[in-house]
Amino acid sequence: MSIRDNLTAFQKQLPDTVKLVAVSKTKPVEDILEAYNAGQRIFGENKVQDLVAKQPLLPKDIQWHYIGHLQTNKVKFIAPFVHLIHAVDSLKLLKEINKQGLKNNRVIDCLLQFHIADEETKFGLSFEEAGEILCNEVFQSFTNVRIIGVMGMATYTLNENQVRGEFRQLRKYFDNLKSKYFNDADYFREISMGMSGDFRLAIGEGSTLIRVGTLIFGERNK
């Protein structure tokens, strides 16, 4: 199957409420262009260096999502063009994103990443930590960063009940934050969860953004 065929088949399964982030990490610009020519506009990368190398070579109406762990000192490289930063997990990082947003005269949209997996290696906030950030006056003074939802990664396991439970937890965090901090904010509406192996479960639990690489571009070269 070609990338175009994969995408077409994939788009057919998606409800209108769910957007596909085509995860193009490690893939060459030719592959991204093939997906673009098949109609895909949202792409995800997880390394700043790769994103910065690919972005100028590709059409300007691509919406680039940064899905990896972002280091504070690298925000400046993607701030001029990034459409959404998925994995924000500290006030310090938000502060830098706000600063770079100001410099570039734009508001940068972000998601708060939550730790939902039963694995220590995955980044992310607890619900309490997120509350502390959102209540903080420093955060409330930011004018050029906007939190539009949440993101999480489930445990890498074949146990569907566990994965479903973790996605359900993230959905609960979203609902709680919405009612507590974003009740009047229409823009707070994204739940980024689900990858090639678990996107169906994620959609069942209310995902609005699925991040899928392998099923579209094939296996990554290690």
CA 221 to chain centre: 22
Name which position in 67, 122, 132, 175 contacts ligand PLP (CB under 6 A).
67
Name which position in 14, 72, 196, 218 contacts ligand PLP (CB under 6 A).
196
Quote the CA–CA distance of 63 and 85 in Å, as a whole number: 11
Residue 35 and residue 13 in contact, taking contact as beta carbons nearer than 8 Å: no
Quote the CA–CA distance of 52 and 31 in Å, as a whole number: 17
* Residue labelled with tokens 């706000």: 98
Among residue numbers 68 through 107, which ones bind ligand PLP (CB under 6 A)? 68
- Closer CB to ligand PLP, 94 or 193, in the complex: 193
Instruction: Burial-class residue 178 by CB neighbours within 10 Å (0-12, 13-18, 19+).
Output: middle
Could you say whether residue 154 binds ligand PLP (CB under 6 A)?
A: no
- Nearest 5 degrees, angle CA 137-CA 114-CA 116? 150
Could you say whether residue 195 binds ligand PLP (CB under 6 A)?
A: yes
Among residue numbers 38 through 57, which ones bind ligand PLP (CB under 6 A)? 46
Amino acid occupying residue 113:
Q
Residue 93 and residue 78 in contact, taking contact as beta carbons nearer than 8 Å: no
Binders of ligand PLP: how many residues, by CB under 6 A?
Answer: 12
Could you say whether residue 171 binds ligand PLP (CB under 6 A)?
A: no
Stretch that binds ligand PLP, among 91-99, 130-138, 180-188, 210-218 (CB under 6 A): 210-218
Could you say whether residue 213 binds ligand PLP (CB under 6 A)?
A: yes
- Closer CB to ligand PLP, 25 or 168, in the complex: 25
Could you say whether residue 112 binds ligand PLP (CB under 6 A)?
A: no
Stretch that binds ligand PLP, among 32-40, 88-96, 125-133, 193-201 (CB under 6 A): 193-201
Quote the CA–CA distance of 177 and 182 in Å, as a whole number: 7
* Site residues (vs ligand PLP, CB under 6 A): 23, 25, 46, 67-68, 195-197, 211-214
